[in-house]
Structure 1
């Protein structure tokens, strides 16, 4: 009887030991899962991408590697988002809303770009929107943010759509045509606006979209053009890694804005943009970090205006509260 009792106690000790090891192993695996192997970010060659090169130069974000994919078109980026091939993606805010409304499992993590568009002309007689009547105005791709915002300002200035002829090309193409003196009226983003101003002495900025937006929407209104979406699965699985990345991006953005001359060499080597152009372009680039939740009011106002003009631009409706990543 004593031998049986001893055997039972021995078996019990073994079971407890194995259970303890199993629990310990599970806890180790759980802790490992709290940090991803890497964070995959995709972004265009545009102002909100500049801070990402600072992150890459500094190395890992709290021990996690960051991989940057530079995309050439919004279509390429959205395809990767839908397939879940990027954890975070810089996108026009309206494109993010459109994807969300089409059931993409994403949230708006942050907004970074608050107005980078200008009405540029070589005609000194054009100073207001009304002066564009009877003119041919070149704008970025039809249905794009520059297009819809241009239509917004035409409408707000009581100009009939038929009174201004809109011609569509890519922004780099339009900039080159204006540099060569072929195009006289254009809507351009930064840094293309600065490139034109530096290479064509006749070119001037007639209207600043950010200023005009505030004139119609109120002095405190901001123009949330671009931000970053996150895969919800990534946000749920790696909340700390996401928080660390958000903080790193915010800090890198603040450094870029405060020290454009220091950021310029990184931009020049990675974005094929002359350092002088980048430094000058930052004077008209409204680059400020805000979380999705912090930007909600401005984003809803912006999307509502786009919805009024072109419902397809936002996916037919305003996104619900779950579109905004909670802080």
Structure 2
């Protein structure tokens, strides 16, 4: 009888062990599908991408790099992607529109938007009055940041300036090349791209500095990472491993721009020569957990006061923020 009990106990322990192994295998075998954009919001990811290709990453990954958020956000909502990099305000819009099906995973880019011009006529925001500004980012962070900064400096964005929206930064650069005294709003690294091809182009206004000068208690944010709630709840360990790798990747990019720029070109974001010059001005960062709440809340509050639609009609609640 004692032998039978011992055998049964041994079998029970083996079953438990195998069950645990199966659960671990499921967690380890998950492939995280990530969508990024051609710009700073994806530049911080490139070390993760390189490690994945080398087979040394903690998770398996699939990466999709797109020209605009419109190409990746539907795939997130439809479950074809698990994590996407999007403009900061769009995170709130998607959270509200999907009834909380997505969560903010991390802030990955601070201010990267600049006013550039061919000439010396713009020395302050007020000098933009009467100008035509070529820009990208309608309906997202660049538009709302520009309108807010203009209005706070006494320039009516609807009547005092003309804003011509283009679908991609490359179109803005092409327009600058074809005008004699063009003014544009561009994000890095496309400021660097433009300076390499448009003779006499200079940075006239750093919109991050212009935002900070208003002393409104918030920060100008550009990009964030969103995760599908369903994925986050099903794979917490894989997500924790990703956040660890992602933080290390952003540090690598900021501290090693020459090495990082080679990978950035390899994955199709921008040319290495451009990336190396632009990285110091791209404000690539990693802010997650409790640390991301205050800057995101402050930023969204400024946008909400300006235009509630810019954040999806209402400010997100606490459940918006992913917590490990």
TM-score for both structures, normalised by structure 1 = 0.90
SS in 2 for 1:222: coil
Distance of 1:247 and 1:257 partners within structure 2: 16
Q: Which runs of 5+ in 2 are unaligned?
A: none
Distance apart, 1:72 and its partner CA: 3.1
Q: How does 1:54-133 map to 2 (within 5 A)?
A: 54-59=47-52, 60=55, 63-102=58-97, 103-133=99-129
SS in 2 for 1:134: coil
Distance of 1:38 and 1:196 partners within structure 2: 37
Distance of 1:113 and 1:61 partners within structure 2: 26
Distance of 2:251 and 2:237 partners within structure 1: 21
| Mapped contact 1:293–1:325 kept (Cα < 8 A) | no
Q: Which runs of 5+ in 1 are unaligned?
A: 1-5
| Mapped contact 1:119–1:209 kept (Cα < 8 A) | yes
| Mapped contact 1:260–1:282 kept (Cα < 8 A) | yes
**Deviations 1:97-117 (CA, angstroms, capped at 9, x unpaired):** 111112141211111100110
Distance of 1:244 and 1:312 partners within structure 2: 35
Distance apart, 1:202 and its partner CA: 1.6
Distance apart, 1:70 and its partner CA: 1.5
SS in 2 for 1:163: coil
Distance of 2:150 and 2:239 partners within structure 1: 40
In structure 2, relative to structure 1, the CA distance for the partners of 1:84 and 1:272 (3 Å cut) is closer
Distance apart, 1:84 and its partner CA: 1.7
| Mapped contact 2:118–2:180 kept (Cα < 8 A) | no
**Deviations 1:218-239 (CA, angstroms, capped at 9, x unpaired):** 6x85322111111222222222
In structure 2, relative to structure 1, the CA distance for the partners of 1:204 and 1:70 (3 Å cut) is same
**Deviations 1:52-84 (CA, angstroms, capped at 9, x unpaired):** 222122234654211111123322211111112
Distance apart, 1:125 and its partner CA: 1.3
Residue 206 of structure 2 corresponds to: 208
Residue 251 of structure 2 corresponds to: 254
SS in 2 for 1:295: helix
Distance of 1:101 and 1:61 partners within structure 2: 37
SS in 1 for 2:323: coil
Q: How does 1:1-327 map to 2 (within 5 A)?
A: 19-59=12-52, 60=55, 63-102=58-97, 103-160=99-156, 161-170=158-167, 171-181=169-179, 184-217=182-215, 221-271=218-268, 273-327=270-324
Distance apart, 1:28 and its partner CA: 2.2
| Mapped contact 1:134–1:163 kept (Cα < 8 A) | yes
Distance of 2:197 and 2:155 partners within structure 1: 31
In structure 2, relative to structure 1, the CA distance for the partners of 1:178 and 1:146 (3 Å cut) is same
SS in 2 for 1:70: strand
In structure 2, relative to structure 1, the CA distance for the partners of 1:258 and 1:15 (3 Å cut) is closer
Distance apart, 1:318 and its partner CA: 0.8
Distance apart, 1:214 and its partner CA: 1.0
SS in 1 for 2:95: helix
Distance of 1:222 and 1:289 partners within structure 2: 14
Distance of 2:57 and 2:288 partners within structure 1: 20
Distance of 2:269 and 2:142 partners within structure 1: 23
Distance apart, 1:19 and its partner CA: 4.3
Distance apart, 1:144 and its partner CA: 2.4
Distance apart, 1:293 and its partner CA: 2.5
